[in-house]
Amino acid sequence: MEMTLETMERHWMPFTANRDFKRDPRLFIRASGMYYWSTGERKILDGSSGLFTTAAGHCRPEIADAVARQLQTLDFTPSFMRGHPGAFALADGVAELTPVGLDHVFFCNSGSEAVDTAMKIAMAYHLARKEAQRTYFVSRERAYHGVNVGGTALSGMVRNREAFGALLPGVLHLRHTLLPENRFSRGMGATGAELAEDLLRFVNLVGERRIAAVFVEPIAGSTGVIVPPKGYLERLREICDKYGILLVFDEVICGFGRTGEAFAASSFGVTPDIITMAKALTNGAQPMGAVAVRDHIYRTIVDGAPEGATEFFHGYTYSAHPAACAAGLATLEIYRKENLFAKGRELSPYFQDAMFALQDLGVVADVRGYGMLAGVEVKPGAAPGVRGTELQAKLFDRGLHVKTTGDVAIIAPALIATRAEVDLLTSILRDCLGDY
Ligand SMILES: Cc1ncc(COP(=O)(O)O)c(C=O)c1O
């Protein structure tokens, strides 16, 4: 197909300035390891692991072969009342990585579906324990929980909400934890744990037994990397325990080594009741999401139903798709064999040093980071977000792919990155930021 402005209009691109993109397309045509190639064989360093997906680097033959083999053996299995061995093997592999006790895994196809699934699990759980009056959900300002109806309602990013009105009533938002006094703090900020007390305010506002679950990203990623202040997650956990509220960690970005452990729950030493995940579960090679839940949640829902009856009326045609399971299993094997979570943990101080060193540039308003995730915020230009959009285009043109949100560049190299690749990434960033 000839790529003209007119033919390109047929693809309505998601989260994209369509008119802008189609006038000046930035296409990827292949990828390998830490790099993409754009048209004209231009090599582009991947500074955001695709979209926080590709933790083991691009085009891993182990994953491609496993998917190809699977598609030639068993291409599709209905996921209702039927199964295939790969689904059970992958659930087992995921449960090995989640904190002790979160041993039951429900599969879906994306992070957004994982979030909406987790909301329904929370409601089904409370119904099964005769607490169906728990109809409120709590999330946080500046949160991103995907784009399905539930996740959009939980979301705390104004542009993602404003066109869609009040999708769900009964969602309360905790204040975000991006505090000016924590600017340029490396890791967890010293102040802000008290912001968790907002949850107590909501308990006092709507009633002690009215909140079903609290959703937080341990590190808010898509909004521009907000690392939780010291003591904040612990305090949320305490309040949830006291009032019978489920704590959900949305680890769609944090999961699979980004914070140095398999999950941020382990890095931060706080165990939620439910973890949502996607992205690096299959190294981005197949669409897949999952929800891991504590044993008592699974048991309450499953054992609460009559014998022989379906216990949870939820699922997707492509839940536990055989090709996605094959990709997931091959991905987990790479993480294990190459010790990639430990590798990321070892590279993290070097990476964070490089990111925090950028604060000497006048245009840099803040740097935040933890593990192999960092946010570099620039001072706004003519309007908020204009400079961030300009920056990602400029970085691309100089050979670096980075995801930006507003005026924050979100840097998340694959866990296979070398120091030399961190140096290259930093030098391109410094070069572009130095233009301002
Ligand atoms: C924390 C979080 N939750 C949910 C999602 C949605 O995932 P998906 O785009 O796979 O639906 C994302 C995507 O970036 C995310 O960062």
pLDDT in tens, 13-69: 999 999 999 999 999 999 999 999 999 899 999 999 999 999 999 999 999 999 999
Q: Does the CB atom of residue 222 touch ligand 1 within 6 A?
A: yes
What's the gap in Å between 222 CA and the centre of ligand 1?
A: 8
Measure the CA–CA gap between 74 and 326, rounded to whole angstroms: 11
Rounded to 5 degrees, φ, ψ at 292 are -105, 135
Burial 89-98 (b: 16+ CB within 10 A, else e): ebbebbeebb
Query: Is the pTM here over 0.95, yes or no?
Result: yes
Output the six-digit token pair for 293: 């839940």
Measure the CA–CA gap between 187 and 352, rounded to whole angstroms: 9
pLDDT in tens, 153-196: 999 988 888 888 778 989 999 999 999 999 999 999 999 999 99
What's the gap in Å between 281 CA and the centre of ligand 1?
A: 12
pLDDT for residue 279 is more than 90: yes
Measure the CA–CA gap between 230 and 75, rounded to whole angstroms: 47
- Same-fold call for 5-56+339-433 versus 64-337: no
Of 48, 53, 222, best ligand 1 pocket probe by most atoms within 8 Å of the beta carbon: 222
Three-state secondary structure readout of 327-382: HHHHHHHHHHHCCHHHHHHHHHHHHHHHHHHHHHCCCEEEEEEECCEEEEEECCCC
- Note the pLDDT of residue 429: 98
Burial 359-371 (b: 16+ CB within 10 A, else e): eebebbebbbbbb
CATH class of 64-337: alpha beta
Measure the CA–CA gap between 101 and 56, rounded to whole angstroms: 27
Asked if 203 contacts 243 with a C-beta cutoff of 8 angstroms, the reply is yes
Output the six-digit token pair for 386: 């204009």
- Note the pLDDT of residue 167: 83
Measure the CA–CA gap between 277 and 97, rounded to whole angstroms: 12
Burial 251-278 (b: 16+ CB within 10 A, else e): bbbbbbbbbbbbbbbbbbebbbbbbbbb
Q: Does the CB atom of residue 278 touch ligand 1 within 6 A?
A: yes
Atom 14 in ligand 1: residue holding the nearest Cα: 222
- Note the pLDDT of residue 396: 96
Q: Does the CB atom of residue 250 touch ligand 1 within 6 A?
A: yes
CATH class of 5-56+339-433: alpha beta
- Note the pLDDT of residue 158: 87
Q: Does the CB atom of residue 160 touch ligand 1 within 6 A?
A: no
pLDDT in tens, 294-324: 999 999 999 999 999 999 999 999 999 999 9
Domains in the chain: boundaries: 5-56+339-433, 64-337
